[in-house]
Structure 1
Amino acid sequence: MGGLVLVAGVDVQDDRFEVVVWAIGRGEEMWCVDYVVIPADPAQDEEWISKLAPYLQTTFTHESGVELKLSGVGIDMMGHFTHQGYNFVRFRERQKIFGVRGDPTPGQPVSAGSKAQDVNYRGHLVKKGVKLWYVGADTAKDLLFQRLKVRDEGPGYVHFSAGLPAAYYSQLTAEQRVLTSTARGLVTRWVNVNRLRNEVLDCTVYALFVAHRLALHTKTEAAWRIIERKLGIEPRAPRPLPPPDGGSPPVAPVALAPAGPPQPPPRPARRTPKKSPFASEEWSSTL
């Protein structure tokens, strides 16, 4: 598996946490590593500690045998449990656990910045208090659905496990871009037209936010190699580029050694017929 960094998105519902874990690799190639539903009562702060927190400490085994931890998590703060969510993320940002909110404003970057939420007794914002991070939701969905059209493994390709349930895919594709009327005129937006469950899509959007927050989309080949060395993972051989016409992969040209200066043919031994120079090893070595 070329996935080297694990990110997760968490959607908070009335009776559960839903989590989708993605592995990110070179060129933002993605692998769905896990999808889990954790029954819980998010109204209770201790449920976040006893049920969600242990899962976020889970390690996943890379195909090389190395155990990978989550490098970052985005948790939805805009449900019915905003206060409990703030309590959970307040002292966990150093662990790259972010409280997030989707922002449908057109053109917003996937990682669209943050705002402090805590206030002191004077009503002033506490600079080191909890932050709410904004996610360019429509931008992230555009990015995801463009990647779902990529057919060849490599940069931008999205991998799915054979063990994922059908509900996973129906939730991932629950929304569509539709023309809507706004104060600014007609615009297209991502809308859950049929009011289907879409927790998997939301979780994936939050995971993409984390990937951008960690700047995984800007990493160079050298940076990915550093990650591999730190993890003790052998770099994978690069995939051959697909042929432009869809035919057989191109054959690598054979480099021929430059010919050396011509050598005189060897003097024949007495009573030995002279051999043709085209059959001799000396001649062949000059090709």
Structure 2
Amino acid sequence: MSMTVTLNNGVEMPALGFGVFQTPPETTAASVAEALRVGYRLIDTAASYFNEREVGEGIRRSGLDRPEVFIETKIWISDYGYDETLHAFDKSAGKLGVDQIDLLLLHQPVPTQFDKTVGAYKALETLLADGRVRAIGVSNFMPGVLSKLLEETSVVPAVNQVEVHPYFSQPAVQAANAEQGILTQAWSPMGGITSYRGDSSRSTFNDPVIGEIAAAHGKTPAQVMLRWHLQEGRCAIPKSVRPERIASNFDVFDFELTTAQLAAIDGLDTGVRGGPDPETVTPEAFGRDIPEA
């Protein structure tokens, strides 16, 4: 069983999860079922991935009882606003085939329509109070916008899911999260997003520092990067559709990086973001309709 972290409201969550960003719907159910077979117990999806229905199918295929699987999903910006977000929960829960979602996040901060972001978060607070979700949080919230949210709401987010990998570790964001008791959850935890940009020479998977550490432990670079997250107290959600990689990414609980090795990986930070800057995510540029359940 995977190691767990305790969120700021006392809920326990697996530290290592399985992500399905950009996993096509037609392969999602099989990938999720395989991940659960291997031992993952946290599945991370989002309304805007358009594969929540298939995630639910994969969980049912696994044969595991509902309480054994920690389900995390995210509200897309097109559904922000108090009433809209309450309805967005119904859409996600309906597609997933569940009555309760374990962790529900706002996917982006939308600073240009912050009143709607606040309304959406207040809807999450209502869902939490009603027991329809077990924990609430945010994704891609930088320190300034996080502070503004905290001023206008009453429940401190349990999680802030942000881009974190050896080439972009966002230490200031992690520090701001930690100061509020918010768990940092890493998306693109191995920096796969950097290799989509076409510069394979700068891929974390080929980095000589990571490669040397991997060789010393008889592990892969991917396993070393995931171990780095776990030992530094983050949650990580790697993704893959290949059964051998799904299994390999979960095989990270039988070795330990030294303090010097952790510091060496920390030292690889380039400060260059791989994904979109959250400031640029607006309804005009990124709006998309989320279908009904």
- Give the TM-score taking structure 2 as reference length: 0.31
- Give the TM-score taking structure 1 as reference length: 0.31
Q: Which has the larger radius of gyration?
A: 1
